[in-house]
Amino acid sequence: MPELIAKTALDGQGALTLIGTTLAPVDLGIITSIAPFAGQVKAIDTALKPLGLSFPPPNTTAASGAARLVWTGPDQALLIGADAPDLGTAAATTDQSGGWSALRLSGARVADVMARLCPLDFRPSAFAPGQAARAQLGHMNAVFWAEKDALMILTFRSMAQTAWDECAHALTALAARAGA
Amino acid sequence: MRYSGFKVFTEGLFGNKGWTPAWRDAAPKAEYDAVIIGGGGHGLSTAYYLAKNHGLRNIAVLEKGYLGGGNVGRNTTIVRANYFLPGNSEFYSHSLKLWEKLEGELNYNVMHSQRGQVVLFHSDGQRDAAVRRANAIVNQGDDAEILDVPTLKQLYPFLDYNQTRFPIYGGMNQRRAGTARHDAVAWGYARGADQLGVDLIQNCEVTGIDIEGGKVVGVQTTRGAIKAKKVGMVAAGRSGQVAAMAGMRLPVESHIMQAYVTEGLKPCIDSVISFGMGHFYISQSDKGGLVFGGDIDFYASYAARGNLPMLEHVMEAGMTLMPMIGRAKVLRTWGGIMDMTPDGSPIIDKTHIDGLFVDAGWNYGGFKAIPASGWCMAHLMATGQPHEVAAKFRLDRFRTGHLIDEEGTGSQHNLH
Amino acid sequence: MRIAGKGLIDRDTQVSFRFNGTSYVGHRGDTLASALLANGLRVVGRSFKYHRPRGVLTAGSEEPNALVEIMEEGQQTPNTRATVQEIFDGLEARSQNHLGSLRWDLWSLNDLAAPFLSAGFYYKTFMWPRAFWEKLYEPAIRRAAGLGNLSPNADTAPYEKAWASCDLLVIGSGPTGLMAALTSARAGADVILAEEDFRMGGALLSADQVIDGQPALVWVEAALAELDSLPNVRLMTRTTVTGAYDSGVFGALERVGLHRAPDAHLPRECFWRITARRAILASGAMERPIAFPLNDRPGIMMASAVQSYLNRFGVATGRRVTLYANNDAARVTARQLMAAGVRVAAILDSRPDASAVEDCPVYLGAEVLETHGRHGLRAIQGRHTGGEFRLDTDCLAMSGGWNPTLHLTCHMNGRPKWSADLAAFVPSDGAVPGLVAAGAANGSFSTHGALSTGHAAAVQAMADLGLTAPDLALPTAEDAPYRLTPLWSVKGKHRAWLDFANDVTTKDITQAAQEGYTSVEHMKRYTTQGMAPDQGKNSNVAALALLADATGRGIPETGTTTFRPPFTPISIAALGAGGRGKTFAPQRFMTSDQASRDRGAPMIEAGLWYRPSYFPKHGETHWRDSCNREVSYVRNAVGVADVSTLGKIDIQGRDAARFLDLVYTNTFSTLPLNRVRYGLMLREDGLVLDDGTTARLGENHYLMTTTTAAAGLVMRHLDFVHQTHAADWDLRFISVTETWAQFAIAGPKARALLNSVLDQPLGDFPFMAVGPVTVGGVKARLFRISFSGEQGYEIAVPTRYGEALFRDLVARAETMGGGPYGMEALNVLRLEKGFITHAEIHGRTGAFDIGMDKMVSAKKDCIGKRMAMREGLNGPEREQLVGLRCKTEFGSGAHLFTQGTRVHRETGQGYVTSMCYSPTLGEWIGLAFVKNGRARHGEDLRLVDHMRNTDCLVTVCNPVFFDPEGGKLRA
Amino acid sequence: MRLTCPLCGPRDRREFYYYGAEDYLHRPAPDAPIEAWDDHLHLRTNLAGVIKDLWYHEGGCASWLLVTRNTITHEVLSVERVADRKGASA
């Protein structure tokens, strides 16, 4: 029998800290997409109650403990950090666990780093904790959400290295400015 | 007045006082045998060949602005005959042959320069497609060759062969391709047509097409009504509006295409180079500016100006292909209005209205087509029969399925 | 030379730099132009066409003459404005556009031939003999034209692009901009103040003015200190707003590192895209030259530039300066020069009725008729109301009045309007939605006008944004009236330049008019007026005035040419930052990527993905050796390939089957549970969009597979069909491409290999079955499908286990006489079986062409069905998919002809789409499209490939070469 | 250029894919005459002025959008989700 060892896309990649800002890969564990069928949001909210979550309105996240539900599109959210409850026929669910690669960007210059990567305004005044967005990181489709002390970035797993490189490059250039 | 080196010399000796207008500033007459709507490259060449090849003399070109103010004066000046589908092959082949005699024909130096064009390919699949294309070009009687990477490295050492995202596998070269001075083409045809008696009427916008009993009888303009036995709609990006005056919807959607030029530089790029993994093509003008372009902006528009996303994409493509151009500075960006068809190929055809003809749908490839387009449109208007090299450019081909889709991107107008 | 006590340069910090190989010293705060002038250099470049010696004309980015190359190790930046370039230790600059030295430029012979090089001369000559154009004339023209040199080396320096958003973008930091920024900042708006210069203050840095009773700089510093202290304000120096675009987007170029020695990480430049809800254009005005005879000599400069070099840089631009002006404002320059101890030879005022109060000779009604001094001005001749004069002078400061810097207001097709009062164009209101011009940019030329209109514009912008600007006392400042009498040119026997940068003279304009190029656009294009690096900033208005004069029209009737972005040129590297090298597009890696590289597999691009081409083994000298071996794995044992790049879309809902029936030509509602079916998808125009297999995982649950190339396309198509035609259907779908790593296991021993890894041995699992399995406890999906014609499976595991499973499968396969196979073998295997890829479904093929018209169900509608029935897409004239076989090698892209016909486009019968050497069949095989091909199996066609020098006969056959009955698939 | 996605808010143009005129919304009946299909797929009014056309928020929420805008000025007048239109379904 084979012994299958799990590996994240950025396996072995350490964090990068410059000018008080840290870029780090994160393993988010299980991710499940939840897509409620028409008229089923109430049923889903009931099923999510034990997790302390309810289906999030557009551009927001719902969080409770380690679990969070991140809006990713019309009738679609990603459940992260918790096993999906049985939603029966109320929603279409798929396992998305390995499909995404997560980066955590935290510290003083998050918005300035992001200003080099995405047209959205990520200053806390414009993108506060609890907010989520579907947008692009460079040329890659991505999911963003703000936590209390960090910005979370999801990109497709196959593009994880490019996502890392672009974020790291932006941070490095910013640090060079600070040193100049 | 005939232009020549000797004339330039003698005029120079006497203070350049003797030059006369290149064309008359004509006022509209009450009636013409043929009226061309649109004083761009295609309209002017149509008028020229109507007079030259078919002996018509009572012709007017109606231009709402100034002659050559549309796409003929705002393109990247590339002349080539490297199409591969029947319909296009014979047409552009014919056009290139006309280009090769154009200075002599018009007694106007349009600076047609056969500097060659190489279209790079970046995968085995693209190589196969390029070979198919090159063979088709040779089968048509034109020239094409496949260049391997060592040859490319000798010709274009500045291309990025190592780090670029999509490695260069080779290129398809056409030596007879090249560039020309765009304005001069319009002016040369204008002067030629004028000398053959064609009235070139500027600042004359057509506001209506008069149709009686299924037959065209004239046009309404901002300078009065003009009677005409035949009317040719040669309005490029504005074809949709002109056709609407005749109650027609054309298979055309108008889009913006941007182009870019840098400050002047000493010679560094000798021929036309096209990137195969993203629209990007570049040449250097005789003044030294790098002239380059990419794809259309992709949204329907008449603004004749573009936005940053496509501009940036084109610059990024340039940087991945030839990072030595990085320090050339973009001096000016502009836009033209492209009449995009559902298969990327043009239309030269009669309409269901007797005496009303259409020459449209040049997408963003109209410049090199100017001589043959005029030639064939003139033939059609004069004889009522399509010219043999333009016979497939039918208006009804989208309904019948006789498509000429070089890109294979299907019936979405903006994808060609 | 420097003047003690003047200027804002840091006198304590010396900076050494080189120009044309000679070392010079300047100060921090100097531009290259100011430092060269301080060192007494006058000739800094050569003109474009006539190669005349040229000196610094301006003190800003509109400079047409002082364009230089900035040199670095292995790299150089041509056409750099010396008037913008800051000096730094080690800066190396050199002049450009000369053959030989700057002083003795051989190309200056052109100047002697000037009578024959008038406007448009090249359109009239060089036509005979024809071949000479390309071989002789044009190369010579090209060499002499152009300006600076580009390095042949790749520009590997760092650049970046960035985004910013704000409530209000203030463009320019002179009195107008500072006042607008202060007003809006105090209102609490999110403000960006962008300044092209490296120091904020605009004209106040150069003008030696008084605001609120103190030197203007005191007010500037206080304003900047306040703005800098506010969290809602971002100050951006060295940032030129270069373009106005739709929806409040502005482009801006920040010169991040150009004022210092190159650094490995510090970007040279950053191109900003600024989204602003409102914008205030406070870009000031540009002084315009006067086109008098021989007005292009080094030492002839703009009066405002002379003033700027004096007050800001502490440089006297001459020992005996003459002022030549048509307005009151320019007089200040002469007064300030005298106050600083610089001798003013005379003031020449073109107005006969102007005042004459200065303590120097003042000539009224004056005009300059000739100038002297080949390499720098020595003397001028002219006349005035009192007669003729000759003056020894080494610097002529000229002022023909001012043009508002309104370029951005034209970027969205806005046309400026003519102000007869100002004899200048002023911005049209609303030309750029959300942007208003204020201060000198809007024709308010006094400092008081700047402050008050800057304030008013900000108050209005705040009101638009729902903010209230607090009351603010307007500082007091000069409010001198702007008095001017237009003076565009002075007639004389010598050439008078309009466009210095393109060497366009007044004669060129009149000649263009004489030749009928009377439309302003014709004049511009015929003479090249305004097409040089300064884009006519210095000369367009005067050229228009001359054209208006020559054609007997007024200036408003003549109209203007259009200012287009960018305001100042932007490097391609900055606009294309992020494009160089691999970062042009994202890279996508499969989970097996490292395992394949470990085995030495060349990785090739497949769209954005990288896939292994083949897995070389020791002793193999050609890729085909490896490929043949890998094919034999599959035909004889077992091969393993990573097929994870195929698109996978999970589709669920009560209407999932109905939806699939709509998007596929064939029927999926009838697909049994746990079964897979091949599907064909058309575009609405009836041509093939994609193909693939779709599995039914549950009653209302399907898994669709797309090709690698079309994965994104199909997703967009499904979203379209769903949202436009089936919005209320009970249906949800999502991409799971990235969730699953999927491996093909194919060959006679495929089942054995599978059974060695599955937790439960495989039971009855027929061809086209699908079902859940587990591997080492990991939940997986197994499909019995084949792209090779052999017994084939594809096993999908969650991506995180992909690499481990791939390594495991390959290792096991090798113990069974098999191993991994790459794209080359995959291609051979599919060709042997006659399976199509996008080489065949290339966007021009319909179901009929590939012999799948029977798959378009007659019982139901589907996307593309109607248009697929068009006559032009059916019938014997269509090129149809066939197989080709041949004993000798041929290539894809070859064309096919009926034997005995000539080789020509008209006789073409078709072309080859794919080919390979089939190790299984021992011959060369291919797929092709041939007219009426299905009726021509068995016919020998002539294959001609001019590119590969192939001319041979090939036999048309059934495209399925291998196991046409499909027995092996089902084994 | 920016478009305001009804779900995601104002976004840069580069997040969106342009398809074409609203004609694409009006799919003829399967047995409609070829002229109707020609109209649907090929012929365009191609107005210089206010038009409606289809965009896809490909870099965002994947909504297909019906955009009302001016082809001369590029002014965007309104954006709605195609799926949210009244009577949107087939």
Task: Give me the residue from A58, A73, A135 closest to D62, CB to CB.
Answer: A73
* Percent of chain B topping pLDDT 90: 99
Residues in A touching D62 (Cβ below 8 Å): 73-74, 134
Rg (CA), chain C: 37
d(CA C880, CA C911): 10
Residue B34, pLDDT above cutoff 80: yes
Residues in D touching C247 (Cβ below 8 Å): 1-3, 10, 13, 74, 76
- Taking only the tens place, the pLDDT of each residue in C748-774 is 999 999 999 999 999 999 999 999 999
d(CA A38, CA C838): 37
- Taking only the tens place, the pLDDT of each residue in C507-540 is 999 999 999 999 999 999 999 999 999 999 999 9
d(CA A36, CA A88): 10
Contact A91 C589 (CB under 8 A): no
| CATH C-level class of B114-178+253-340 | alpha beta
What's the CATH code, domain A16-28+98-179?
3.30.1360.120
- Taking only the tens place, the pLDDT of each residue in C865-914 is 999 999 999 999 999 999 999 999 999 999 999 999 999 999 999 999 99
- Taking only the tens place, the pLDDT of each residue in C354-394 is 999 999 999 999 999 999 999 999 999 999 999 999 999 99
B partners (3+ CB pairs within 8 A) are: C, D
Contact D46 B300 (CB under 8 A): yes
Which structure tokens are listed for C872? 């032009």
Q: Could you tell me the pTM of the whole model?
A: 0.98
Q: How many helices (H) and strands (E) does chain C have?
A: 24, 51
Contact C152 B132 (CB under 8 A): no
Q: Residue C131 has what pLDDT?
A: 87
The per-residue b/e assignment along B119-155, b for 16 or more CB within 10 angstroms, e otherwise, is bbbbbbbbbbbbbbbbbbbbbbebbbbbbeeeebeeb
Asked whether A105 and A23 are in contact (CB, 8 A), the reply is: yes
Contact C719 D90 (CB under 8 A): no
Q: Which residues of chain A are in CATH 3.30.1360.120 domains?
A: 16-28+98-179
Residues in B touching D45 (Cβ below 8 Å): 240, 244, 249
Residue D86 phi, psi dihedral angles, 5° rounding = -70, 135
Q: Residue D90 has what pLDDT?
A: 40
- Taking only the tens place, the pLDDT of each residue in C226-278 is 999 999 999 999 999 999 999 999 999 999 999 999 999 999 999 999 999 99
Contact A119 D15 (CB under 8 A): yes
d(CA B253, CA A83): 50
Establish if B133 touches chain C: CB-CB under 8 angstroms.
Answer: yes
ipTM over 0.85: yes
Contact A173 C265 (CB under 8 A): yes
Angle subtended by helix axes C802-815 and C750-757, to nearest 10: 130
Residue D88, pLDDT above cutoff 70: no
- The minimum CA-CA distance between C302 and chain B, rounded to whole Å, is 23
d(CA C314, CA C59): 13
Residues in D touching C412 (Cβ below 8 Å): 73-74
Q: Residue C402 has what pLDDT?
A: 97
Residues in A touching C797 (Cβ below 8 Å): 4
Task: Give me the residue from A158, A163, A176 closest to C263, CB to CB.
Answer: A176
Angle subtended by helix axes C506-514 and C540-551, to nearest 10: 40
d(CA A16, CA A109): 13
Please give the interface size between C and D, counted as residue pairs whose CB atoms are below 8 Å apart.
74
Please give the interface size between A and D, counted as residue pairs whose CB atoms are below 8 Å apart.
41
Average pLDDT score over residue span B30-59:
98
Contact A4 C805 (CB under 8 A): yes
- Taking only the tens place, the pLDDT of each residue in C334-348 is 999 999 999 999 999
Q: Which residues of chain B are in CATH 3.30.9.10 domains?
A: 114-178+253-340
Contact D7 A58 (CB under 8 A): yes
* Percent of chain C topping pLDDT 90: 98
Q: Which residues of chain B are in CATH 3.50.50.60 domains?
A: 5-77+183-251+343-415
Residue C90, pLDDT above cutoff 90: yes
For C217-279, give the secondary structure using H, E and C: HHHHHHHHHHHHHCCCEEEECCEEEEEEEHHHEEEEEEECCCCCCCCCCCCCEEEEEEEEEEE
Contact D71 B254 (CB under 8 A): yes
Average of per-residue pLDDT values in chain B: 97
Q: Output DSSP code: residue C134.
A: I
What are the DSSP E strand ranges found in C747-789?
A: 770-775, 778-783
Q: Which residues of chain A are in CATH 3.30.70 domains?
A: 31-95
Establish if C483 touches chain D: CB-CB under 8 angstroms.
Answer: no
Alpha carbon of C956 to those of C231, C891, C914: distances in Å? 76, 15, 14
d(CA A22, CA C698): 44
Query: Given pLDDT bands bounded at 50, 70 and 90, which one contains residue C962?
Result: very high
Contact A135 D11 (CB under 8 A): yes
- Taking only the tens place, the pLDDT of each residue in C874-888 is 999 999 999 999 999
Q: Output DSSP code: residue C754.
A: H
- Taking only the tens place, the pLDDT of each residue in D50-82 is 999 999 999 999 999 999 999 999 999 999 999
Contact C580 B9 (CB under 8 A): no
- Taking only the tens place, the pLDDT of each residue in B304-329 is 999 999 999 999 999 999 999 999 99
- The minimum CA-CA distance between B241 and chain D, rounded to whole Å, is 7
- Taking only the tens place, the pLDDT of each residue in C197-221 is 999 999 999 999 999 999 999 999 9
Mutation target to probe the A interface, by most A beta carbons within 10 A, among C582, C648, C799, C812 is C799
Mutation target to probe the D interface, by most D beta carbons within 10 A, among B302, B405, B412 is B302
Residue of chain C whose Cα is closest to the Cα of D83: C723
- Taking only the tens place, the pLDDT of each residue in C703-712 is 999 999 999 9
Whether domain A31-95 has CATH 3.40.30: the reply is no
Assign domain B5-77+183-251+343-415 to its CATH architecture. 3-Layer(bba) Sandwich (3.50)
Residue C450, pLDDT above cutoff 70: yes
Residue B337, pLDDT above cutoff 80: yes
Contact B414 D18 (CB under 8 A): yes
Q: Which residues of chain D from 15 to 34 reach within 8 Å of chain A, CB to CB? A: 15
Q: Which domains does chain D have, with CATH numbers?
A: 2-84 (3.30.2270.10)
* Percent of chain B topping pLDDT 70: 100
Which structure tokens are listed for B355? 């005496």
Residues in D touching A72 (Cβ below 8 Å): 61
Contact D59 A141 (CB under 8 A): yes
Average pLDDT score over residue span C793-798:
98
Q: Which domains does chain C have, with CATH numbers?
A: 160-285+404-464 (3.50.50.60), 588-645+739-830 (3.30.1360.120), 647-735 (3.30.70.1400), 878-971 (2.40.30.110)
Mutation target to probe the B interface, by most B beta carbons within 10 A, among C49, C81, C95, C124 is C124
Query: Given pLDDT bands bounded at 50, 70 and 90, which one contains residue D85?
Result: confident
Residue of chain C whose Cα is closest to the Cα of B266: C146
d(CA B354, CA B43): 19
pLDDT in tens, chain A (180 residues): 789 999 999 999 999 999 999 999 999 999 999 999 999 999 999 999 999 999 999 999 999 999 999 999 999 999 999 999 999 999 999 999 999 999 999 999 999 999 999 999 999 999 999 999 999 999 999 999 999 999 999 999 999 999 999 999 999 999 999 987
Residues in D touching B253 (Cβ below 8 Å): 20-21, 44, 46
Asked whether C252 and C240 are in contact (CB, 8 A), the reply is: yes
Asked whether A128 and A146 are in contact (CB, 8 A), the reply is: yes
Query: Given pLDDT bands bounded at 50, 70 and 90, which one contains residue D89?
Result: very low
Q: Residue B278 has what pLDDT?
A: 81
D partners (3+ CB pairs within 8 A) are: A, B, C
Residue D87, pLDDT above cutoff 80: no
